[in-house]
Structure 1
Amino acid sequence: MKFGQVFQSQYFRGADLAEDFVGTITNVGTELVGEKDERRVVSFEESNKKLVLNRTNWNKAADVLGEDDDANWVGRRIRLRRERVPFKGDIVDAVRVDSPESPF
């Protein structure tokens, strides 16, 4: 079995995105992620998985959607894609936000 099959998550991870995911935002709220971190989280109509917003993805979503207030993102579509990025000395799969029309 693969890691993602054994250790399933309610949140999108880079390893989950063998293909790009285009989804319609149904909610943006604050959730406790892990044991102590409250984070902004995006829910989608097309998936039970959610996107935990880091600074990079929040800024990209705001740019793609042309809206700085995440309360106005509901009903809009974004693309999630996998990208290899450096993290703590390793290269890892990360989730990145893009335009739904992006050629990636």
Structure 2
Amino acid sequence: MLHPANVTRRFIELYEEIGLLPVRLHDLRHGATTLAHAAGADLKGIEEMLGHSSITITADTYTSLLPEADLAIAEAVARLVPRARVTSETTAPEGSESVVACTK
């Protein structure tokens, strides 16, 4: 059987050997959770995988928003903003976009 202290000691040896910055072994659990969520796994599935008693623990403590996910959310929201074509009464400057955001 593996003793937790031996696993931790070996982990430290490995990251020092390859020149990585220090990281706790437990931080890999958080990182894996964030990656699983970014890959599309739902929080309920992640909660069960980690053995948490509550989805709140999983969401609040174990996941982070990756910059790529943040950008994807912003772009998805922008696609929902209604757009209207420029009419002949409203002329757009030459070379500008032919759509403008509605102002309702």
Superposition TM-score tier, normalisation by shorter sequence: under 0.3
Q: TM (normalized to structure 2)?
A: 0.23
Hey, which of these two has a bigger chunk of helix by percent? Answer: 2
Greater strand proportion: 1
Higher RCO, 1 or 2 (CA under 8 Å, sep at least 6)? 1
